[in-house]
Structure 1
Amino acid sequence: MSKQILFWEKQQTTGSEYLELSYQNQTIQVESTVLFMENSVPQRVLYRILLNKIWGVKHLYIINHTLGKTLSLSTAGDGRWFNDDGDEIHMLNGALDVDISCTPFTNSLPINRLKWTPDEPKLFEMVYISAQDLSVKKVKQMYTLKHHQEDNRTFHYRSATFESPVIVDKNGFVLEYPELFIRRF
């Protein structure tokens, strides 16, 4: 088993994220702690994601310690999502990846799952999770590879009316999400 550590700093507000990835034979285990301010209230969010070896989500667990709220979702990678009781969450049907609002890491999921050709946009249905209240909804997001260099790639990201470049390293991990996150380690 090998391990990798990533650390991001929030840009517009106070906050940071410490994330560990553990690579095993058939899975990637992600465990992260995110600290940030929301409406002048300190927030502490912990999340764990279990991925298959090709970056497909298998299970997600998230807790907002400030609220004392948790969320657990699982999927077989076929676009169907289930809660802890095994009940299917129909409103999420079709989504393959997750996007957690407080972290740049989840941008790596679709980026690392697929092969990319410059200027060829790819549309994704995502399970969007608000870290502030752990609400869940399905959203559409588009990524387009704009620049590819030896050490990094730049994607154009769009979701509804929000657009931004996202710069990732050669392994698909966010280096900079302008005005939102910058990686320090």
Structure 2
Amino acid sequence: MSTVVYWRRTDVEGLERLELTTGPDGVTASGTVVCVEDGGFRLDHTWSLDADWRAQRVDVAVRGPHTQGVLRLDRTGEGWLVDGVRRPDLDGAQEPDLSVTPFCNSLPIRRMRDGADLTLDTAFIDGPALTVARSRQRYEPLGPGRVRYVDLGLSRGFEAELTVDDGGLVVRYEHLFERVEPA
């Protein structure tokens, strides 16, 4: 089964197209972000998720005036490889978080159970810069289809309310993204 969603940036000019393909063994997500931020860039990202929506691999390619290149993040046990090199500083990080897309919020949101908060460490990928660092975040349920995101790490103090659909995909991310339907 395949689903296509579009998000528009609300803080700068930008648009993303993401295609999700769900099969018996897992999910593949492929997206393209085009944004005028940081001098303008195009960023392509592909995610391989297992059947429980846990990221196994993320490939990112960016092309812009300040950065051009690729990055690959692979899960290995409780840790991560960045471009084939083990990164002990990322050990225990539960999921990747890619700065330029609300898609990655779906992974922890789908794990929230019984109305409980979820706090986790992430392997935060700064998309335009192609860097990876450990960060911490919390998701707090606010009611049906509503979640508060709280950054406890690299952007400590940032909070936003997220509205999500029944599949856990972001419909609106306060301050940053909103889903749009093609005309």
Determine if the TM-score, normalized by the shorter chain, exceeds 0.5: yes
Whether the 8 Å CA contact 1:123–1:141 is kept in 2: the answer is yes
User: TM-score, length-normalised on structure 2?
Assistant: 0.91
- The answer as to 2:109 corresponding to 1:117 is no
Residue from 128, 133, 147 that aligns with 2:129: 133
Residue ranges of structure 2 left out of the alignment (5+ in a row): none
Distance 1:125 1:54 in 2: 18
- Identify the residue that residue 27 of structure 1 maps to in structure 2: 26
Alignment of 1:89-128 (within 5 A): 89-112=87-110, 114-118=111-115, 120-128=116-124
- Identify the residue that residue 74 of structure 1 maps to in structure 2: 74
RMSD after superposition: 1.2
Whether the 8 Å CA contact 2:59–2:70 is kept in 1: the answer is yes
- The answer as to 2:61 corresponding to 1:63 is yes
Distance 2:160 2:167 in 1: 20
Higher mean C-alpha displacement, 62-71 vs 5-14: 62-71
User: TM-score, length-normalised on structure 1?
Assistant: 0.90
Residue ranges of structure 1 left out of the alignment (5+ in a row): none
Distance 2:112 2:122 in 1: 18
Amino acid at match of 2:114: T
Distance 1:103 1:31 in 2: 11
Distance 1:130 1:49 in 2: 16
Q: What is the CA distance between 1:129 and its match in structure 2?
A: 0.7
1:20-55 per-residue CA deviation (whole Å, 9 max, x = no partner) reads 01112202011000011124x111000001000100
Whether the 8 Å CA contact 1:38–1:132 is kept in 2: the answer is no
1:70-116 per-residue CA deviation (whole Å, 9 max, x = no partner) reads 1001114x43101343x31111111111111111111001112x142
Query: How many residue pairs align between the two structures?
Result: 175
Task: Give SS of 2:105's match.
Answer: helix
Amino acid at match of 2:113: W
Distance 1:43 1:154 in 2: 31
Whether the 8 Å CA contact 2:13–2:37 is kept in 1: the answer is no
Distance 1:31 1:88 in 2: 24
